[in-house]
Structure 1
């Protein structure tokens, strides 16, 4: 029932049975117990108090409790006592601990006989006992056994607020025992009367419910109340009523966050151990070296969460605990109550996630658990530069995930465009080189013209040019055919064919016509195959003509050779003429290509301008998201205030500039000027690429400038992807965090973490290490109790205040024995867990009592 710690269960504090004169039952008496318990189960009542009028039937109660236990229902012994107070007496529900009727005794009956001594027909609900409230309490106290009182149907006849005025109630509450023993009022519907009661007695009592049934069919009728308890015991119920602001509800709380249900180990120090977790606050306790952090670190490892500090040690700890072949299985539940199983093998970095039917799912952890956070020892007191910004990114980074993805794509496009522009910037030099080469070749050819050789070789030159022409057009046509062939195999066509199968439940006729058009498009596109075949057919014709041309050329070989022999110019080689002619053509073609590419420069620069503008907008969009989340944090509490400045971490930017410019010899003051004049590398690149470096040249010039530009170009990807961090300041009680002590700093960061609303799970190892008890009590505990219904917390702790005052729903106790880590668990209201808390966290019962006596003495 309580494997995941304290649960919220429906409670009914006013139940009558067949033993009550007012209760009507006409079926087989032998079936009453089963039928009664079945009705409790149907009404979802898990905690009930049997409170017959002025009567307690021990045998019936024991029979009911036995049957109820089979259905996971807990019944408490009680009585509805008519107390001699007011005009009609006051109906008072007294709930007893088991000690009243154990060991063959029935002290409840003894008590009833005492207060009804000499009173006839006491089982009638209108017959009052001999004592007023104070007298009843005095009689109860004589038995030296535990109990608590709930005033029944307080607004009705024989109810406290119906029968008693403010003066009487105030006098009754002068009795400290009444303050201690009265733990609630039942069926309090009149708000004004309830507020008056609160004013008269000086504090608020919980409003409780009970159906007050007169027949089985009445069970579960009327308003409901719920208790959060972690154990089926009188003490657990009493504890819940005493802490009613945290443990009494009028509806079952809805949990809207994903959470870890359990972790199971195979192999190593935790072999065959299964640890279940509450959706709310879980605290892992134990003496030093007992294995507390082992559970936390294996959980972190299983969830594939990064350790920021001491990661080598933590990874070795995981290997030591799991041992070779170790397996972790983590049961997860998402915010829609869907269940999953995450499996992690020690030797395998991959995380395997399956559904409840063990079907493997190709999904990420964050599709189940929203932004889980882990903080190990030392993380909270870290003083590394920029830690505040890194922490902010870690906490609310998911909100900026989409923008970051866009920025990543923008960086890739920027790099590509800048590299293209850099290449084009080299083209003028290449154009000059090619122009000079063409001119040189033309000068050499001019000599052949003067000597008449060009004219004699013109025919051969023409044939050489036309041979190259055939090669070029064949290549172009082949490329065109290949492009068409690739297009026919396009993934988009396959996707389009799939879309053509779409059917609509509500718009069938519309989508039939759409699908018809898609089919027509696919047919038209399929026509490209015929076009390609026709192109290839024409290419074959061209190749046939090429063969004719080659035959004609070959037939002229002797003629060309004779012409060359007839040329009798000692200083000029006819073959060189043909070679120069070919080079002129090739060089001219290359020159033309570069000139055409130069025309693209303007378009590329415009594209770069747009990309830079997009980047600025994305950076500002992300900053606005940070600001929005920071405003929520600042508004959610008073202790912390967070301020953020866009790209404000100039020191880190200057350090990065020095790193990129290493080896240039540029002085530090120049880097400082650059970091102050430019917001980031993108701004520097903008100036270089689009502004002729006018701004950067006012800071560095000459040889320093050339070296710096080369470094930027050589580290282009790194420079584009690097982002100057925003400057984040965390103010704790109005003072910047960096001026606080280590403990105060840790306190602020813990509060910062706990105020988040977008993290399903927060795991922290010993958050109290750098906190003092006053901070834990005044701020940490208060925030924890407010947030644990929205976040699953898993803490390792040595500080008793966290599980006890934080009202931990699940406490996990570890102990190291015989090379194994042993685990015990329960809620804060389990007696055996309470004893372990005292032993482990308070130094044992003797030490606890000794300190308590000292504190009491100090307060005297």
Structure 2
């Protein structure tokens, strides 16, 4: 991986927002063409500057927020300002591809090429195009949210993480199915095992039966043979059921491969011939596969016919054998009751033995699933390790760029809030003080280790690790095993603890966690990180909020000057230092009559210096008064 945050000597390829157009609503008729460097949106308060950024964010499908209240606020803002109109954003990827993204007040973003032809491009995962949006006060929120801090760090290695995400999602999906299958198998085994406890008792009762009389051996043999006939019918039914299931699977597989030809559409672009060949390859593969499946199905259906014929022959044979059994009992009426009881017990024993075979098959399946689960968990852990290495590298690079004032570190698996919450839910309401116990588990025992010890009933080991009595450890094991019918342990085992970032600011010679700082210090800590190099446009609503002018000049403006040649910046601001000292390539001046917003003018700093002076500095008189007071 290249040093994402290393100092750059010149421009590099980056994503850009080229144009914003709005039809309908508060900003009806708005057209903004953004520069590749620094863009500033200025205007009096209440002229809808913030709405411009939020419409852009909405159009690109980046409105999602982990805070439900914030999400509701954004949704209301868009609904109120867009009404039934549409917003269109033209974007350019770092590869030079241009797309038009259109979105109405409802529905999802629709993407087309420069000519307006729809294209199958998704913006949801940021793999084609991504931008970083930060609303007013969101910078402060980042300082107190480890999850938000992690998102900021991940943005610097978004492509590398995105490359791992499909595999991670696939492994997690497989794990979820694996958990469901294991839980279902365990339940099925548990349900049948209780019945299997009857087997020894039934065998004893069969052995204890005493038919008596001179024909006792013949009667006992016939009773045994009757039991064997019952078992034979069960074996044939098992074979037929299995073959029937395979035929059903063939039917589903045939439907799937018949659709190979529809996996791709014929392309109208320059590569149409290539896709035509691909379509032919897939259709041919589907036809060949259908033929192969039909041949295999014919073989299995032939086996079913043979089973049916054997079943007919067996039924015929059983008929004569049952008649012999009935005649023997009729001749020895004194033994009929004992013989019938023996036959009943033998039939019940056969049922239980069939269940035992079913349990044994399920246990083998369970072993395979458990082995597969271990492999999936190891694979997921490896993928998480790779993500952690990426995050750790970025944390070090951020620190090297911003030290000694700011430093960033990452603790692997340090975010354990979800883990603790699952444990609290499982243990609450038990009449014990479980909060302390949950805290000790959270700090000293990762989920997979906890599950391993609970499943082994390792009372002493758990008690020693958690520094509790054996009685409490035994209670913990019993409670966790029974929680959610045993599913909790599966969920805990697959729970992936998230990494936890720590961002600190040097204050008075010591480093302090960003979450403990004052509002101004929080922004002082986070904003320089957001302003580091990236290939994603950075859009911030009033980055100067809660910052003093000295910091804006010394840090914000200096960083803008360094990064704007390599990263597009779009700021809504009330601070003149940002557009003037940042030498903005484009300044957009807004105004409003209270019902609609309007772009009053646009241009570079020189072209709109009168508006900057009037709106942001207070006008020429304010300049003269400051000169009189300060002497310069």
TM-score, structure 2 as length reference? 0.80
Once the two structures are overlaid, the 10-residue window that deviates more, 282-291 or 550-559, is 550-559
Q: Which residue of 2 is the match for residue 358 of structure 1? A: 116
Alignment partner of 2:44 out of 267, 279, 287: 287
Once the two structures are overlaid, the 10-residue window that deviates more, 774-783 or 367-376, is 367-376
Instruction: Output aligned runs, 1:504-515, within 5 Å.
Output: none
Instruction: Output aligned runs, 1:383-402, within 5 Å.
Output: 384-386=144-146, 389-393=149-153, 395-396=155-156, 398=158, 399-402=160-163
Q: Is the 8 A contact 1:260 1:331 kept in 2?
A: yes
Structure 1 550/640 Cα, relative in aligned 2: closer, same or farther at 3 Å?
Answer: same
Alignment partner of 1:263 out of 20, 32, 41: 20
Please give the alpha-carbon distance, in whole angstroms, between the structure 1 residues aligned to 2:22 and 2:169: 39
Q: How far has the Cα of 1:268 moved from its partner?
A: 1.0
Q: Is the 8 A contact 2:584 2:605 kept in 1?
A: no
Q: How far has the Cα of 1:314 moved from its partner?
A: 2.6
Please give the alpha-carbon distance, in whole angstroms, between the structure 1 residues aligned to 2:372 and 2:480: 25
Q: Which residue of 2 is the match for residue 803 of structure 1? A: 579
Q: Which residue of 2 is the match for residue 751 of structure 1? A: 528
Alignment partner of 2:32 out of 266, 275, 279: 275
Q: How far has the Cα of 1:718 moved from its partner?
A: 5.3
Please give the alpha-carbon distance, in whole angstroms, between the structure 2 residues aligned to 1:535 and 1:369: 48
Q: Which residue of 1 is the match for residue 343 of structure 2? A: 578
Please give the secondary structure, in 2, of the residue aligned with 1:260: strand
Q: How far has the Cα of 1:557 moved from its partner?
A: 6.9
Please give the secondary structure, in 1, of the residue aligned with 2:51: helix
Q: Which residue of 2 is the match for residue 64 of structure 1? A: none
Cα deviation, 1:110-153, whole Å, max 9, x if unaligned, reads xxxxxxxxxxxxxxxxxxxxxxxxxxxxxxxxxxxxxxxxxxxx
Structure 1 346/395 Cα, relative in aligned 2: closer, same or farther at 3 Å?
Answer: same
Q: Which residue of 2 is the match for residue 674 of structure 1? A: 441
Q: Which residue of 1 is the match for residue 5 of structure 2? A: none
Q: Which residue of 2 is the match for residue 820 of structure 1? A: 596
Q: Is the 8 A contact 1:283 1:812 kept in 2?
A: yes
Q: How far has the Cα of 1:261 moved from its partner?
A: 1.2
Q: Which residue of 2 is the match for residue 619 of structure 1? A: 384
Q: Is the 8 A contact 1:259 1:369 kept in 2?
A: no
Alignment partner of 1:730 out of 476, 482, 504: 504
Q: Is the 8 A contact 1:290 1:814 kept in 2?
A: yes
Please give the secondary structure, in 2, of the residue aligned with 1:285: strand
Q: Which residue of 2 is the match for residue 440 of structure 1? A: 201
Structure 1 527/615 Cα, relative in aligned 2: closer, same or farther at 3 Å?
Answer: closer
> Which of 1 and 2 has greater Rg?
1
Cα deviation, 1:667-713, whole Å, max 9, x if unaligned, reads 333222222222x3233223334684653343342323312343484
Q: Which residue of 2 is the match for residue 317 of structure 1? A: 77
Cα deviation, 1:596-638, whole Å, max 9, x if unaligned, reads 5545666655544444443433332221111111222223344
Q: Which residue of 2 is the match for residue 126 of structure 1? A: none
Structure 1 420/343 Cα, relative in aligned 2: closer, same or farther at 3 Å?
Answer: closer
Once the two structures are overlaid, the 10-residue window that deviates more, 766-775 or 474-483, is 474-483
Structure 1 786/520 Cα, relative in aligned 2: closer, same or farther at 3 Å?
Answer: closer
Structure 1 303/525 Cα, relative in aligned 2: closer, same or farther at 3 Å?
Answer: closer
Alignment partner of 2:540 out of 764, 771, 774: 764
Instruction: Output aligned runs, 1:558-569, within 5 Å.
Output: 561-569=326-334
The structure richer in helix per residue is: 2
Structure 1 272/567 Cα, relative in aligned 2: closer, same or farther at 3 Å?
Answer: farther
Q: Which residue of 2 is the match for residue 852 of structure 1? A: 627
Q: Is the 8 A contact 2:211 2:339 kept in 1?
A: no
Structure 1 570/656 Cα, relative in aligned 2: closer, same or farther at 3 Å?
Answer: closer
Please give the alpha-carbon distance, in whole angstroms, between the structure 1 residues aligned to 2:18 and 2:145: 37
Please give the secondary structure, in 2, of the residue aligned with 1:278: coil
Q: Which residue of 2 is the match for residue 35 of structure 1? A: none
Q: Which residue of 2 is the match for residue 371 of structure 1? A: 130
Structure 1 469/828 Cα, relative in aligned 2: closer, same or farther at 3 Å?
Answer: closer
Q: How far has the Cα of 1:472 moved from its partner?
A: 3.0
Structure 1 605/311 Cα, relative in aligned 2: closer, same or farther at 3 Å?
Answer: closer
Q: Which residue of 2 is the match for residue 92 of structure 1? A: none
Once the two structures are overlaid, the 10-residue window that deviates more, 472-481 or 600-609, is 600-609
Please give the alpha-carbon distance, in whole angstroms, between the structure 2 residues aligned to 1:418 and 1:367: 30
Q: Which residue of 1 is the match for residue 557 of structure 2? A: 781
Instruction: Output aligned runs, 1:138-157, within 5 Å.
Output: none
Structure 1 801/527 Cα, relative in aligned 2: closer, same or farther at 3 Å?
Answer: closer
Structure 1 825/685 Cα, relative in aligned 2: closer, same or farther at 3 Å?
Answer: farther
Please give the secondary structure, in 2, of the residue aligned with 1:361: coil
Q: Is the 8 A contact 2:613 2:619 kept in 1?
A: yes
Q: How far has the Cα of 1:750 moved from its partner?
A: 0.8
Structure 1 731/403 Cα, relative in aligned 2: closer, same or farther at 3 Å?
Answer: farther
Please give the alpha-carbon distance, in whole angstroms, between the structure 2 residues aligned to 1:422 and 1:342: 45
Please give the secondary structure, in 1, of the residue aligned with 2:539: strand
Q: What is the alpha-carbon root mean square deviation over aligned residues?
A: 3.9
Structure 2 gap ranges (5+): 1-8, 265-279, 467-471
Cα deviation, 1:756-788, whole Å, max 9, x if unaligned, reads 424x11111111111100000001001011111
Please give the alpha-carbon distance, in whole angstroms, between the structure 1 residues aligned to 2:451 and 2:313: 57
Q: Which residue of 2 is the match for residue 591 of structure 1? A: 356
Please give the secondary structure, in 2, of the residue aligned with 1:647: strand
Cα deviation, 1:326-351, whole Å, max 9, x if unaligned, reads 21111111123222110111122x11
Q: Is the 8 A contact 1:307 1:375 kept in 2?
A: no
Instruction: Output aligned runs, 1:213-224, within 5 Å.
Output: none
Q: How far has the Cα of 1:262 moved from its partner?
A: 1.2
Please give the alpha-carbon distance, in whole angstroms, between the structure 2 residues aligned to 1:538 and 1:718: 42
Q: Which residue of 2 is the match for residue 17 of structure 1? A: none
Q: How far has the Cα of 1:444 moved from its partner?
A: 3.2
Q: Is the 8 A contact 2:533 2:566 kept in 1?
A: no
Structure 1 777/818 Cα, relative in aligned 2: closer, same or farther at 3 Å?
Answer: closer
Q: Which residue of 2 is the match for residue 119 of structure 1? A: none
Please give the secondary structure, in 2, of the residue aligned with 1:332: strand
Alignment partner of 1:837 out of 606, 609, 612: 612
Once the two structures are overlaid, the 10-residue window that deviates more, 733-742 or 415-424, is 415-424
Q: Is the 8 A contact 1:258 1:368 kept in 2?
A: no
Once the two structures are overlaid, the 10-residue window that deviates more, 665-674 or 623-632, is 665-674
Cα deviation, 1:219-261, whole Å, max 9, x if unaligned, reads xxxxxxxxxxxxxxxxxxxxxxxxxxxxxxxx9x855112111
| 1:454 paired to 2:220 | yes
Cα deviation, 1:826-852, whole Å, max 9, x if unaligned, reads 223444x21111111112222233223
Q: How far has the Cα of 1:560 moved from its partner?
A: 5.4
Q: Is the 8 A contact 1:308 1:379 kept in 2?
A: no
Q: Which residue of 2 is the match for residue 467 of structure 1? A: 233
Structure 1 421/464 Cα, relative in aligned 2: closer, same or farther at 3 Å?
Answer: closer
Structure 1 gap ranges (5+): 1-250, 499-514
| 1:707 paired to 2:468 | no
Structure 1 683/597 Cα, relative in aligned 2: closer, same or farther at 3 Å?
Answer: same
Q: Is the 8 A contact 1:427 1:598 kept in 2?
A: no
1 or 2 for the larger relative contact order (CA 8 Å, sep ≥6)? 2
Number of aligned pairs? 586
Q: How far has the Cα of 1:520 moved from its partner?
A: 12
Cα deviation, 1:448-488, whole Å, max 9, x if unaligned, reads 56343433555655544443343333333333444555556
Q: Is the 8 A contact 1:369 1:761 kept in 2?
A: no
Q: Is the 8 A contact 1:258 1:369 kept in 2?
A: no
